[in-house]
Structure 1
């Protein structure tokens, strides 16, 4: 890996789940939750992954750390394809790729003390119990918790404090990449800001790279360098944050941004709100052509028959036959 190579490179990542069985025992159509996702992430940068619930962004994050095995495609980390490694070969690499989960309390073992929760990754990597405990105390201080509370249990902490424990656990092995799966969506708004500021500080101090998964576009704007918008398992627009927020090219991106409230009441009243009709199609039976065309206000006949590929438009990549206004 050279200094110009991306830290993480994802190519045509796909995840297909078998269909559910009906009461008669017949299996339904397979569900393609992620359909050909590709992107690069440089060291020290943050990629925001956004979209409606069910679009496949969390499934993508879980495949990046091999909690789910991809159906096809590749995940290359530091120049090495990790998508097909055995669990034994993958174990040494796991120290460099960690994950923060959405619900802090459900992701922490209620039977273990905070010391054990944070130090578990170190014990797996061969650290002694004493060294792992010292490291856990250091990490508690780093994320803004009182090290003297190291022998408490997760239920004795608030939601924001529990998420700080989850972040501390993800940092135990000094990773280079952290996958953050909606890390603030289960928290109060005031606590969300604290966690976002903490993650930004840690990125600067530790040189971390993030894949930040969220549905809140205002949070993603705060933390990201680049943003990828997903719809029905596919990336429909990806580019630098300022370009995407100031001049979105895909109709779906424009609709998402129009739903973000503005702090200025006068500007909020003046702007156009784009309301999409209907619900997202089922990933078990996606429509032909562009999967967004049943809800797109500018769809034409070409959109109904031909799937658009990501292509350069206005200095970012857009999967749309008719990008722009």
Structure 2
């Protein structure tokens, strides 16, 4: 996938579409084939290389209620892993602000609007298209519905 491209993975329950997303994210090992990102085979990358690549691959999960804490701001949610990795709060805030200004990473969307009302789904998808148009970020969408 290149900059500003979107790849859709559609299939019925049990078809392996979420497993593909997890393999891209490095959460599961693949049993065959390769996943290439920025010229690197991420399915065979060692721990150190995978950690470097993981900085440029993020996920939006199906269930926002269990994935995102509604009591936190997006900045706090994004900064939390940086703080856990040993960055101080000030450094995490600086890095999050920098990320907001420059979104250039692959984002894996695993049923990102599944639990939303149809009109809200359309608004969120329009927003994602607008973000992609402005930033060039590539998307991998995983869904059980082609529409």
Q: What is the TM-score of this pair, normalised by structure 1? A: 0.40
Alignment root-mean-square deviation, CA: 2.7
Q: Secondary structure at the match of 1:187?
A: coil
Higher strand share: 1
Quote the offset at 1:44 in angstroms.
Answer: 1.4
Which structure is richer in relative contact order (CA contacts within 8 A, separation 6 or more)?
A: 2
Residue correspondence of structure 1 range 201-280 to structure 2 within 5 A: 201-218=130-147
State how far apart, in whole Å, the 1-side matches of 2:42 and 2:49 are: 9
Q: Secondary structure at the match of 2:59?
A: strand
What 5-or-longer segments of structure 2 have no aligned partner? none
State how far apart, in whole Å, the 2-side matches of 1:85 and 1:173 are: 26
Post-superposition CA distance 1:156-211 (Å, at most 9, x none): xxxxxxxxxxxx9xx79834211100100111111101110111111011111111
Greater CA radius of gyration, 1 or 2? 1
Residue 98 (structure 1) aligns with: 58
Contact 1:82–1:90, Cα closer than 8 Å, also in 2: yes
Quote the offset at 1:100 in angstroms.
Answer: 0.7
What 5-or-longer segments of structure 1 have no aligned partner? 1-40, 140-167, 219-325
Residue 108 (structure 2) aligns with: 179
Contact 1:70–1:83, Cα closer than 8 Å, also in 2: yes
Runs of 4+ in 1 over 6 A off after TM superposition: none
Task: Count residues with an aligned counterpart.
Answer: 146
Residue 132 (structure 1) aligns with: 92
Residue correspondence of structure 1 range 99-118 to structure 2 within 5 A: 99-108=59-68, 113-114=72-73, 115-118=75-78
State how far apart, in whole Å, the 2-side matches of 1:68 and 1:95 are: 17
Higher helix share: 2
